[in-house]
Amino acid sequence: HLDASGQLVFPGFIDPHVHSRDPGATHKETFHHSTLGALCGGTTTVLEMPNAVPAVTDVATFERRRAEHGEKAWVDFGLWGMALGPANLNEIIGLHRAGAVAVKFFWGYALDRRTKGLVYDFSAAPPDSLLLPPENGEVLEMFREVASYGGVLAAHCEDRHILARSAELLGHPISTYDDLLAARPAAAEATSIAVGAQFARLTGCRFHVVHMASAEGTRVVREARAAGVPITAETCPHYLTLTDRDAARLGPAIKVYPPVRTGADQEALWAAIGDGVISSIGSDHAPHLVEEKMLGFGQAPAGGLGVETLAPLMVDAMVRGRLSPVRLAQVLSSSTAALYGLWPRKGAVRPGADADLTLVDPSGGHSISHDRMHALNPVTAWDGWTLRGRVTTAVLGGEVAMRDGEPVGGRRGRFVAADHARSRG
Ligand code: DOR
Ligand code: ZN
Ligand code: ZN
């Protein structure tokens, strides 16, 4: 029995940006923990990023991941593929046919050939074990390939040459948050976005910018869209709720790539949500060990928790008037579903949808604390925050699956294949 009196009923929220570390780094997080966190936070579908170890660079790995995750999923899930450039150009159409929601290209990162894991900081690594990110000519080739089958190419946008030179110019190791911002300037993001926009215009390939963090990047996307380029963008709650001024208080808990920037950047992102330049919000859930996150701004790995706080933080923003309920439904569900080929099954409350719902009490409240999180390493940037509005209930496939932050019944998550042809038709 479901009583929704006084509540807002949303199409089930989708988190399109989750790194569950499973397999490969299950001491940091597992698919069990991340999907349980998703459910308890009011998210009914997650799209799992391809950079577990081994990374999802071919169809065989995709199928294995699909089977393994199917056993652990508390919510429905889709899978990303990874695009490496020439090294797996002939695999990406297969990933698309297998139902990958999109392929992601990590502009500034290398791949370890041995482990098939992503290497974030490869300045010190032995070059012969690394597959470096492709040159721009090879990136253009990737755009052509993805365009040929009508898929979506998404990218982590930070130009690696700008990152390398900026770190060099800094002249000393990163020790403060200002150092970190100097080593990863907004120009690195905006440059990659601008190159991607050019390639999208040339090839007609749909290009999606994940976790956009800067006003500069936002401006490039807005101009390209105005010129008719098929480019879309995502941002994340940390860019919308934190700024560099929180770094002193939070320490390396705030460290994420691309970095959280200034209040002016944050305002530009909110404006872009308002005018449609940003059409999807994901958490970039990217857990690490608690001890690792205390290593300092230079040494701590980048990434933090997000999947369980995505909906509560965005609901709070809605109650405070930052975005309307309809806009919230779009950026957390219907636009995201359309973008990743999950339409019409997800993101719609209508015939053909599969009855995933998220219920919100706008007059309720919610407080975030480490000890109530379901993550394996529960350290969150929002510990101690008191939010307005409350996600009360999640319905998965027509059945109540979560009430008041705890699961109801067993796990019932299922794999969802993207179908881009149907989505666009
Ligand atoms: O901060 C980040 N962490 N940014 C990324 O792009 C990757 C992620 C991770 O997987 O740790
Ligand atoms: Zn990324
Ligand atoms: Zn990410």
ipTM of the complex: 0.96
Ligand that lies nearest to the alpha carbon of residue 255, given by its number in the listed order: 1
Kindly tell me if the per-residue pLDDT of 340 is higher than 90: yes
Residue 425's pLDDT is what? 38
Least confident of 151-155, 288-292, 320-324, 343-347: 343-347
Please state the rounded mean pLDDT for residues 154-167. 94
pTM strictly above 0.90: yes
Ligand that lies nearest to the alpha carbon of residue 283, given by its number in the listed order: 3
Q: Give the Cα separation of 125 and 104 in Å (integer).
A: 23
Residue 351's pLDDT is what? 67
Q: Give the Cα separation of 99 and 256 in Å (integer).
A: 29
- The residue to mutate among 284, 288, 293, having the most atoms of ligand 1 within 8 angstroms of its beta carbon, is 284
Report the percentage of the chain scoring pLDDT > 70: 99
Residue 53's pLDDT is what? 97
Residue 226's pLDDT is what? 98
Report the percentage of the chain scoring pLDDT > 90: 91
Residue 370's pLDDT is what? 94
Please state the rounded mean pLDDT for residues 79-89. 97
Please state the rounded mean pLDDT for residues 159-181. 95
Residue 376's pLDDT is what? 97
Q: Give the Cα separation of 141 and 384 in Å (integer).
A: 47
H/E stretch holding 402: strand 399-403
Residue 108's pLDDT is what? 82
Please state the rounded mean pLDDT for residues 122-142. 88
Q: State the closest ligand 1 atom to the C-alpha of 303, by its place in the atom list counted from 1.
A: 1
Please state the rounded mean pLDDT for residues 267-279. 98
Please state the rounded mean pLDDT for residues 205-222. 98
Residue 1's pLDDT is what? 77
CA angle, 126 then 254 then 314, to 5°: 125
In the numeric block, which tokens belong to residue 204? 């007609």
Residue 345: pLDDT band by 50, 70, 90 thresholds? Answer: confident
Amino acid at 146: V
Q: Is the dihedral of CA 197, 117, 254, 283 positive or negative?
A: positive
Q: Does ligand 1 lie within 6 Å of residue 286's CB atom?
A: yes
Q: Is the dihedral of CA 327, 333, 336, 341 positive or negative?
A: negative
Kindly tell me if the per-residue pLDDT of 127 is higher than 80: no
Please state the rounded mean pLDDT for residues 305-323. 98
Please state the rounded mean pLDDT for residues 121-135. 83
Q: Does ligand 1 lie within 6 Å of residue 51's CB atom?
A: yes
Q: Does ligand 1 lie within 6 Å of residue 303's CB atom?
A: yes
Residue 423's pLDDT is what? 60
pLDDT, the chain, mean: 95
Within 10 A of 351 (CB to CB), how many other CB atoms are there?
6
- The residue to mutate among 19, 104, 121, 122, having the most atoms of ligand 1 within 8 angstroms of its beta carbon, is 19
Residue 424's pLDDT is what? 54
Provide the residue count of the chain.
425
Residue 205's pLDDT is what? 98
Q: Give the Cα separation of 271 and 260 in Å (integer).
A: 17
